[in-house]
A and B are shown apart, each in its own frame.
Chain A
Amino acid sequence: MGLEKLLGDNIITTSVNSVAKWARKNALWPMPFGTACCAIEMMATLSGRFDMARFGAEVIRFSPRQADLMIVSGRISIKMMPVLLKIYEQMPEPKWVISMGACASSGGVFDTYTLVQGVDQFLPVHCYIPGCPPRPESLLDALMKIQDIIGEEDSDDKADEGRENPEIETEEETEESASAEQGVAEPSGS
């Protein structure tokens, strides 16, 4: 654009979207849904040796309303699934889900009458972690993959549509989406 030349070295120009994405992916607030041994590995990931804080995701929130990353770590029974779903629905958009370990992803060894055979039947899962239980490195890897997903998301993706703060969108796009909505609304109105 050439704008940088005028502004000098002290000011960076970028889009609001990029800044929002950058902020989101480097400050994920996980909601731990630990129901089994995977939760122990999740705790290990949070503590000093593996230190999830290095990736900006150390602020574990036990209130879903303050979290944007759900880590389903452990087996989910059909009696627990409504609880999980209720907690997921309370998380504000945008939100992401990690299905940690074999049980959450597929039921694992518990191929029985009472266990949900993969939480992805009821939740949109963004990243699956294999393992029984997975090593903390795997969880960190999944976290980085979630960060990649957040970084790659388009501006008209669901993460932005359901956002809490309408002001984090560029002016151009607001105009575009507004005119697009009008374009849709006009034929139906006339």
Chain B
Amino acid sequence: MGTSLTPEQITERLSKQFGDELSVYLPPGERAARVAIVSRESLEDTLSFLQTEAGLEFDFLVDVTAVDYLHFDDPSIQERFAAVYQLYSTIHNHRFTLKTPVPEDDAWVPSAVELWGSALWAERETHDMYGIRFKGNPDLRRLLMPEDFPGFPLRKDYPLRGRGERDAFPQYLDSGPISSGTREEGGGE
């Protein structure tokens, strides 16, 4: 078992390595976790560094998810989305969170599948819910919603009750709903 590092120490190591490409966001509150923010271009290098660098060795990608900052009241946030990477090291027992801003009109980030296999489904789910494409993910189909679902439900501008999908979903448009009175035709002879 190695020595576990605090988020501050990990951020320091990252700053030493990447310098200006990395900025650290400090949420208010004493117990809030420090979150490192990297640009989309340097994300792959940062993740790879976190995974392989001695002393850090984040061998477990806990989750990949995203945030939608629509109507978010913070001038420091420039882009609408952010992809979030939750990392954990089973060797050193420390955790780290990394964010990448993602613009709305060009919503993609590089995939982490090459580094952690567990990114495969996590990225599928994030794509399903937020519409962020993960370039390099070999199987970016929808995970939870039906394959032909039109929207991205966890975006803030998506209405909670949907846009009518639950009442008329395409699977039924050809056959129509079954009612007890009409479904006997053809079978009774």
Inter-chain contacts of B167 with A (CB < 8 A): 117, 121
B61 smallest CB distance to A (angstroms): 26
Listed stretches A22-30, A35-43, A108-116; interface member: A108-116
- Name the prevailing secondary structure of the B interface residues: loop
Interchain CB contact under 8 A, A122 and B153: no
Contact with B along A117-141 (1 / 0, CB 8 A): 1000111100000000000000000
Supposing A124-B179, A162-B188 touch, asked if A79 and B145 sit within 8 A by C-beta, the answer is yes
A149 smallest CB distance to B (angstroms): 11
Tell me, in angstroms, the Cα distance from A85 to B178 when the chains sit together: 9
Inter-chain contacts of B171 with A (CB < 8 A): 81-82
Tell me, in angstroms, the Cα distance from A86 to B188 when the chains sit together: 19
Interchain CB contact under 8 A, A161 and B178: no
Interchain CB contact under 8 A, A122 and B177: yes
Interchain CB contact under 8 A, A161 and B153: no
User: How many chain A residues have a CB neighbour from B under 8 Å?
Assistant: 22
Inter-chain contacts of B165 with A (CB < 8 A): 78, 113-114
B117, CB-defined interface residue at 8 Å: no
> CB within 8 A of A113: which of B161, B177, B183?
B161
Supposing A82-B171, A113-B161, A124-B178 touch, asked if A161 and B184 sit within 8 A by C-beta, the answer is yes
Interchain CB contact under 8 A, A113 and B180: no
A145, CB-defined interface residue at 8 Å: no
A-B residue pairs, 9 tightest by C-beta: A113-B162, A124-B180, A79-B146, A78-B169, A122-B177, A82-B171, A161-B188, A113-B153, A78-B166
| Residues of chain B at the chain A interface (Cβ within 8 Å) | 144-146, 151, 153, 158-163, 165-167, 169, 171-172, 177-180, 183-184, 187-188
